[in-house]
Structure 1
Amino acid sequence: MPPRRGHDARATGPRDRREAAPHADAVTPRDPAPRAPARRGEEVRLHGLNAVRALFQARPEALRKLYLTQARVPALKPLLAWCVANRVGYRVVEEADLNKLAASAHHEGVVADVLRRPPLTLEAWLAALPAGPALALWLDGVGNPHNFGAILRSAAHFGVAGLLLPQDSPLALSGAAARVAEGGAEAVPLVQAGDSASAFATLRAAGFGLAATLVEGGDNLFAAKLPQRLVYVMGAEGEGMDRNLAKTCDLTLSIPGTGRVESLNVASATAVLLAQWASHRA
Structure 2
Amino acid sequence: MTGRGSNDDPGPWRRGPRRQGDAPADPAARGERTPPRGDRAPWPGGRTQGRDDRPAPRRDGPRPASTGRTDTSALEAPPPPRGGRGGELRLHGFNAVQAVFASRPEAIRKVYLNQSRIPHLQPLLKWCVAQRVGYRVVTDDELGKLAASAHHEGVVADVLRPPPLSLADWLPTLEPGPQCLLWLDGVGNPHNFGAILRSAAHFGVAAVLLAQTSTLSLSGAAARVAEGGAEVVPLVRLGPTAESIPMLRAAGFELAATVVREGRPLFAATASQRLVYVLGAEGEGMDAELAAACDLRVSIPGTGAVDSLNVASATAVLLAHWAATRGN
TM-score normalized by structure 1?
0.91
Q: Does 1:108 align with 2:153?
A: yes
Identity %: 65
The amino acid that maps onto 2:264 is D
Q: What pairs with 1:1-282 in structure 2 (closer than 5 Å)?
A: 2-5=2-5, 16-17=10-11, 25-27=25-27, 28-30=30-32, 38-41=40-43, 42-282=87-327
The amino acid that maps onto 1:4 is R
**How far off is 1:39 after superposition?**
4.1
Q: Answer yes or no: is the 8 Å Cα contact 1:48–1:110 preserved in 2.
A: yes
C-alpha separation between the residues in 2 aligned to 1:124 and 1:243? 28
**How far off is 1:45 after superposition?**
0.3
C-alpha separation between the residues in 2 aligned to 1:277 and 1:50? 26
The amino acid that maps onto 2:5 is R
**How far off is 1:25 after superposition?**
4.0
Deviation track 1:171-198 (CA, whole Å, cap 9, x = no partner) reads: 1110000000000000000000122111
**How far off is 1:242 after superposition?**
2.4
Q: Answer yes or no: is the 8 Å Cα contact 2:264–2:299 preserved in 1.
A: yes
C-alpha separation between the residues in 1 aligned to 2:271 and 2:34? 53
The amino acid that maps onto 2:236 is V
The amino acid that maps onto 2:149 is S
**How far off is 1:118 after superposition?**
2.0
C-alpha separation between the residues in 2 aligned to 1:89 and 1:199? 42
Q: 1:127 to 1:37 in 2, by over 3 A?
A: farther
Aligned to 1:11: none
TM-score normalized by structure 2?
0.78
Question: What stretches of structure 1 of length at least 5 have no aligned partner?
Answer: 7-14, 19-23
| Partner SS, residue 176 of structure 2 | coil
**How far off is 1:32 after superposition?**
6.1
Q: Answer yes or no: is the 8 Å Cα contact 1:2–1:25 preserved in 2.
A: no
Deviation track 1:150-189 (CA, whole Å, cap 9, x = no partner) reads: 0000000000000000112111110000000000000000
Q: Answer yes or no: is the 8 Å Cα contact 1:33–1:87 preserved in 2.
A: no
Aligned to 1:9: none
C-alpha separation between the residues in 2 aligned to 1:181 and 1:261? 26
| Partner SS, residue 267 of structure 2 | coil
Quick check: 29-38 or 184-193, which moved more? 29-38
C-alpha separation between the residues in 2 aligned to 1:36 and 1:120? 28
C-alpha separation between the residues in 1 aligned to 2:5 and 2:94? 22
**How far off is 1:144 after superposition?**
0.2
Question: What stretches of structure 2 of length at least 5 have no aligned partner?
Answer: 13-23, 44-86
Alignment RMSD, CA only?
Answer: 2.1
Q: 1:243 to 1:142 in 2, by over 3 A?
A: same
Q: Answer yes or no: is the 8 Å Cα contact 2:206–2:233 preserved in 1.
A: yes
Deviation track 1:205-244 (CA, whole Å, cap 9, x = no partner) reads: 1111000000111000101232111100000121122222
